[in-house]
Amino acid sequence: MSDRKRSGAPVVGIDLGGTNFTVGVVDAKGRLLGQDRRKTKAHQGRDAVIDRIVESVGDACRDAGVKAEDVGAVGIGAPSAIDWDQGVVINAGNLGWRNVPLREILRKRFGVPVVVDNDVNVAAWGEHVLGAGRGHEDALAVWIGTGIGAGLVLRGEIWRGPGFTAGEIGQMILFPRSSVGRRTFEEHCSRTAMVRAMETLIGFHPQSRIRKALERSREEGPVGSGAIAQAYVDGDELVQQVVDDAADLVGLAIANAVTLLSLRCVVLGGGVTEALGARYVERVRESFEWHVFPSTLRKCAIVASELGDSAGVLGAAMLARNVME
**Hey, which residues does 144 pair with through a beta bridge?**
148
Cβ–Cβ < 8 Å for 183, 170: no
pLDDT tens for each residue of 244-271:
999 999 999 999 999 999 999 999 999 9
User: Phi, psi at residue 41, to the nearest 5°?
Assistant: 55, 55
How many Cβ atoms are within 10 Å of 150's Cβ, its own excluded? Answer: 27
Domain 3-128+310-322: CATH superfamily, name plus number: ATPase, nucleotide binding domain (3.30.420.40)
Mean pLDDT of 112-139: 97
pLDDT for 218: 84
Q: Which residues contact 223 (CB under 8 A, 6 or more apart)?
A: 191, 195, 198, 210, 213, 214, 217
Mean pLDDT of 53-79: 96
What is the C-alpha to C-alpha distance for residues 206 and 209, in angstroms, rounded to an integer? 9
CA angle 35, 37, 40 (to 5 degrees): 140
Residue 4 pLDDT level (bands cut at 50, 70, 90): very low
Cβ–Cβ < 8 Å for 64, 81: no
What is the C-alpha to C-alpha distance for residues 243 and 284, in angstroms, rounded to an integer? 10
pLDDT for 324: 78
Residue 180 pLDDT level (bands cut at 50, 70, 90): very high
pTM reported for the whole predicted model:
0.94
The reply to whether 134-305 shares the fold of 3-128+310-322 is yes
Distance between alpha carbon 200 and the CA centroid of its chain, in Å? 27
Q: Is the pLDDT of residue 8 over 60?
A: yes
Say which amino acid occupies 99: N
Q: Is the pLDDT of residue 6 over 80?
A: no
For 154-172, letters b (16+ CB in 10 Å) and e give: eeeebbbeeebebbbbbeb
Q: Is the pLDDT of residue 2 over 50?
A: no
Q: Which residues contact 109 (CB under 8 A, 6 or more apart)?
A: 50, 54
pLDDT for 7: 67
pLDDT tens for each residue of 170-179:
999 999 999 9
What is the C-alpha to C-alpha distance for residues 5 and 81, in angstroms, rounded to an integer? 33
pLDDT tens for each residue of 21-38:
999 999 999 999 999 999
What is the C-alpha to C-alpha distance for residues 191 and 126, in angstroms, rounded to an integer? 23
Distance between alpha carbon 72 and the CA centroid of its chain, in Å? 25
Residue 1 pLDDT level (bands cut at 50, 70, 90): very low
Q: Is the pLDDT of residue 166 over 50?
A: yes
- Residue 182 DSSP code: S
Q: Which residues contact 200 (CB under 8 A, 6 or more apart)?
A: none
Strands (E), 29-170: 32-39, 74-78, 82-83, 88-92, 97-100, 114-118, 139-144, 148-154, 157-158
pLDDT tens for each residue of 75-117:
999 999 999 999 999 999 999 999 999 999 999 999 999 999 9
The correct answer on CATH 3.40.630.30 for the domain covering 134-305 is: no
Supply the angle between the helices 46-64 and 102-110 in degrees, to the nearest 10. 50
Domain locations along the chain: 3-128+310-322, 134-305
